[in-house]
Each structure stands twice: as C-alpha cells, then as structure tokens.
Amino acid sequence: MDKIQIRVGSIGIFGYVYDDDDKLVGVKIMDKIQTLRDSSNRIFGYIYDGGDRLVLVDDSNRTLGYYYKREDVTRDMSNRIIGYGNLLLTLLK
C-alpha cells in the first residue's frame, strides 16, 4: 500500500504519494479537511479526504494512518490492519 505525506502549499493541501520503497509516485490534491478539536477548542489532528482514502494526521502533521474506503479497512502507518470500518480516531493517543 502507498503512503501519503501531507504538505500545505500556498495554493492548497497536497498529499505526496510514496510507494513501499519510499519512492515518490504521485501527488494528490486533498480537497476536504476535517479539523479535530478537543473540548478546549485546541486542534489535535486533521482528517484529509484524498478521494479513495482518508488520511489521519496529528497536530504535528505526522501521518498516523489511513482509512481505505473501497476496502472498508483502517491501517496504521506500518500498513498493519487496525480493523474494518473507519477506525482512524482510535489511532490518536
């Protein structure tokens, strides 16, 4: 499975797609963003919609995992299956 690294540019938010050998294989425009906030309104993460998958990143912009819509499976950064369905929020500490 490919990995995505989120970068914020001056004209939008992009997901740089890397293969298993960490070779850049493409760039996606991440057009939908959900900001995750705690009860004090502090940001602790984001969920980006890349079309075929959702990407969870923490407040330091580290990718924590992916939800693959077509397969209905959540995976962590090591590509281990966390479970079926969207379980991204379980990856937050």
Read off the tokens for 22: 């960490």
Closest by Cα among 7, 1, 57 to 27: 7
Closest by Cα among 64, 56, 61 to 7: 61
Over residues 13-23, mean pLDDT? 80
Q: What is the pLDDT of residues 49-87, one digit of tens each?
A: 878 889 999 988 888 999 999 999 999 988 899 999 999
* Count of residues in the chain: 93
